[in-house]
Amino acid sequence: MLKILHIDTGRELRGGQRQLLLLARGLRERGHEQLIVCPEGSALEQQALAEGFSVFALPAYDLAHAHGIVQLRQYLLATPAHILHAHDGRGQTISWLASWGLPVRRVASRRVTFLPGARLRHHFMYSRTCHAVIAVSHFIRGLLIEAGVSARRIEVIPDGIEIPPHLPSPEERAEARAQWGLGEREFVLGQVGSFTPEKGQDVAVEATRILAENHPQVRLLLVGEARAEVKNRLRELAGKAAGRIQFLGHLENLAPFFAAIDLLLTPSRAEGLGSAALLAMANGRPVVASRVGGLPEVVEDGLTGWLVPSDSADGLASAVNDALRNSARVAELGKAARARACQFSAAIMVGRTEKLYRQLAGP
């Protein structure tokens, strides 16, 4: 049995925090002892406690987590651990400072897609402050190597997803559509993600406006919290097609959403891997995605969906046009998409991460 500390400094429960919890659940089933280190009052703290995990809360209003680092070091001196796994950049700094000189192995996850600007700083960060780096895609691995990180330190372990036991039934599809006022004849597009420029909601809205001219049955469902001014700006962009777009807000349970849609749109301008695309594929839904970041490692063009140029509403609309012309092909791609998604199961992610931990911890 290993003792593992997971460190994350995010205040919200977003993709990285959800992956931490998914990993922690799987490791708990394998009998490992774990502690989740996160900010006091954060959404991760609340969720971790609700699921029965032990939590070390970093004090609130603590400048640069200085006091929290001292407290965590005292904890590690009294209760040694095998692995410290930092799930974000600040967590990596905390991990290093709190465990410097102690016989513990440090792991850092890298999900973000921007190329580190200060090469020497990041070379030090990933070469001296941790013993291994988990890149969620080969694209991220390439960025790290370009930044000067040794390839020997990098392990590519894609984020995992929970595979639903079955595809949405016709009854589930009809029920899900009814709750959002959609009928069977509508062709429903969907997008999931935070409303930030890199996610490209504006591209999805513009593509819907283009499609509306010849396809009155097209609808767009947008999932994620969005401020009123963002919604208004997107409605202005949609013009006459604004009535075909629904903002569903945050959905804790995405199963009805995936049951309702025909295609998932992922028009990202940057994407480390694409967990939303994988979730849609696991539910038998093909994906139209930008050819950026790690998305081509998830979506196989012509096999599980379509890859289109980034920042291209015309390209996105063209791919949806293909789907509208051939429902049989959409069904075929959906079956292949589910099979592909199974290669990214949470069990595989947990198993590969556990293997890395054991290699680092030694006998």
Q: Is the dihedral of CA 13, 16, 18, 20 positive or negative?
A: negative
Q: Cα 86 to chain center, whole Å?
A: 16
Check: CB of residue 215 under 8 Å from CB of residue 324: yes
The region of weakest confidence among 59-68, 169-178, 215-224, 347-356 is 59-68
Asked if pLDDT for residue 317 goes beyond 70, the answer is yes
Q: Which of 182, 211, 172 is nearest to 323 (CA)?
A: 211
All structural domains of the chain, each given as residue ranges with its CATH number in brackets, are: 3-160+345-361 (3.40.50.2000), 170-344 (3.40.50.2000)
For residue 117, pLDDT beyond 60: no
Express each pLDDT in 279-308 by its tens digit: 999 999 999 999 999 999 999 999 999 999
pLDDT of 173 above 60: yes
Residue 333 confidence class, pLDDT cut points 50, 70, 90: very high
pTM of the model: 0.92
Order of strands, edge to edge, in the sheet holding 263-266? Answer: 245-249, 218-223, 187-192, 263-266, 287-290, 305-308
Mean pLDDT across the chain: 94
pLDDT at residue 120, rounded to an integer:
60
Return the closest-CA partner of residue 34 out of 10, 12, 8, 60: 8
Model confidence at 245: pLDDT above 90: yes
| Percent of the chain topping pLDDT 70 | 96
Residue 355 CB coordination number (10 Å): 12
Angle of CA points 32, 34, 38, to nearest 5°:
160
For the cut 80, the answer to whether the pLDDT of residue 131 exceeds it is: yes
- Specify the pLDDT at position 113: 74
Is the pLDDT confidence value at 362 over 90? no
User: Residue 319's CB: how many other CB atoms inside 10 A?
Assistant: 23
The pLDDT assigned to 124 comes to: 67
**156 φ, ψ to 5°?**
-85, 115
Query: Percent of the chain having pLDDT more than 90?
Result: 89
